[in-house]
Amino acid sequence: MNIKKEICRLILLGITVLALPASGTERVQAGVWNDTDGNPINAHGGGILEHDGVYYWYGERKGDHTYRSPGVGWECYRTEAGGVSCYSSRDLKNWKFEGVALKPDTADHTSDIHPTMVIERPKVVYNDKTRKFVMWMHIDNHSYSAARAGVAVSDSPTGPFTYIRSERPNNSESRDMTVFKDDDGKAYHIYSSEGNSTLHISLLSDDYLSQSGSFCRNFPNRFREAPAIFKKDGKYYMVTSGCSGWSPNEAEWAVSTTIMGPWTPMDNPCRGKDADKTFYGQSTFILPVGKGSDRSFIIMFDKWKKDDLVDSRYIWLPIRFNGDTLTIPWTDTVDLTGSATDFAAE
Ligand code: GAL
């Protein structure tokens, strides 16, 4: 063996190892999150579907120009509705842009998905019986007074999704929303209603394309928005925001033994600096990662920039449990395996 050569090889190996990022499973919260083409990820108010080992991230595709809706009293900042983006990933870190899965209808000025409308908080679930991907989203007009839910369908997770219609579910207003698919294959539409004062949970039809007619009213007069929901050890957990437009407020978690309630509102799960402002974020989705006893949960927040909405950022944090109590401590980097074991003490 040539000792000199071997020493050089070992030094080079050491340098290479040191130059590698600390871990391939971590993401730094701060800064712009780019896709694999180097473009900022444009998928706000989004959610993630895992299908056949691939994660699909759907979200609002915001236009470049932010403006205030004319004639609307409150701080109604808007961009053109650019439809719904789709990104794919196997590791939750590297996201490939798959295109605009639901394209806006630029031709028909009366369409729900014309760029002058509001298309927010899209969520996609897969229907095992029909083998269709079903997207629900908040559809609104320039003043958010339409308060409707739209539905679209596709044969493929990356789209194209075909827009079907919008409705006021169960004849009630529907703004911020999510969709939750339970272990038994039933899916639920969860939406802020009654002037955002009350959160409805509505069982969808077997094909997920309409409401079944069975729904419940939760948290009356508590004005909860931005619902994100998951199930752990037979219990249902929900994180919501308060109701202050694009400005941050205090989150709240709630728990129930059945999805249709009664839900018990708890307190603010956030811990650390700016916990009373949800770290300047607003909940949008809770993603289960891993299987069985290794299963953990990552909560996704939007960090809105109301005067430049397309530059809004993302915050993802693992959820931590102390028994049945849920907490969300701040961490500067997020472990994308959802591991919550190495958090600093609260
Ligand atoms: C927030 C809501 C966002 C968006 C915004 C409009 O309360 O969570 O999704 O609708 O209002 O101001």
Q: Are 182 and 205 in contact (CB under 8 A)?
A: no
The fold for domain 3-329 equals Tachylectin-2; Chain A (2.115.10)
CA separation for the pair 118, 100 (Å, rounded): 16
What's the pLDDT tens digit per position in 225-282?
999 999 999 999 999 999 999 999 999 999 999 999 999 999 999 999 999 999 999 9
| Residue 245 CA, ligand 1 centroid: distance in Å | 5
Predicted TM-score of the model (pTM)? 0.92
Atom of ligand 1 nearest to the CA of 118: 10
* CB proximity list for 138: less than 8 A, separation 6 or greater: 118, 119, 120, 121, 148, 149, 150, 174, 175, 176, 177, 191
Pocket test for ligand 1, best of 137, 224, 225 (most atoms within 8 A of CB): 225
Atom of ligand 1 nearest to the CA of 120: 9
Atom of ligand 1 nearest to the CA of 243: 7
Atom of ligand 1 nearest to the CA of 77: 12
pLDDT at 232: 94
CA separation for the pair 181, 120 (Å, rounded): 19
| Residue 273 CA, ligand 1 centroid: distance in Å | 23
- Give the residues surrounding ligand 1 with Cβ less than 6 Å away: 45, 120-121, 176, 225-226, 245-246, 282
**Residue nearest ligand 1's atom 5 by CA:** 245
Atom of ligand 1 nearest to the CA of 45: 9
Read out DSSP for 145-167?
-S-EEEEEEESSTT-PPEEEEEE
pLDDT tens digits in sequence order for the chain, 346 residues long: 556 655 545 555 444 433 344 457 899 999 999 999 999 999 999 999 999 999 999 999 999 999 999 889 889 999 999 999 999 999 999 999 999 999 999 999 999 999 999 999 999 999 999 999 999 999 999 999 999 999 999 999 999 999 999 999 999 999 999 999 999 999 999 999 999 999 999 999 999 999 999 999 999 999 999 999 999 999 999 999 999 999 999 999 999 999 999 999 999 999 999 999 999 999 999 999 988 777 899 999 999 999 999 999 999 999 999 888 999 999 999 988 866 543 333 3
Q: Three-state DSSP class for 317?
A: strand
What's the pLDDT tens digit per position in 189-203?
999 999 999 999 999
Q: Are 319 and 286 in contact (CB under 8 A)?
A: yes
| Residue 246 CA, ligand 1 centroid: distance in Å | 6
Cβ neighbourhood burial of 302 (10 Å; 0-12, 13-18, 19+): buried
Pocket test for ligand 1, best of 75, 78, 246 (most atoms within 8 A of CB): 246
CA dist 261 → 47, 146, 203, 264, 278 (Å): 23, 27, 12, 8, 25
Pocket test for ligand 1, best of 60, 67, 176 (most atoms within 8 A of CB): 176
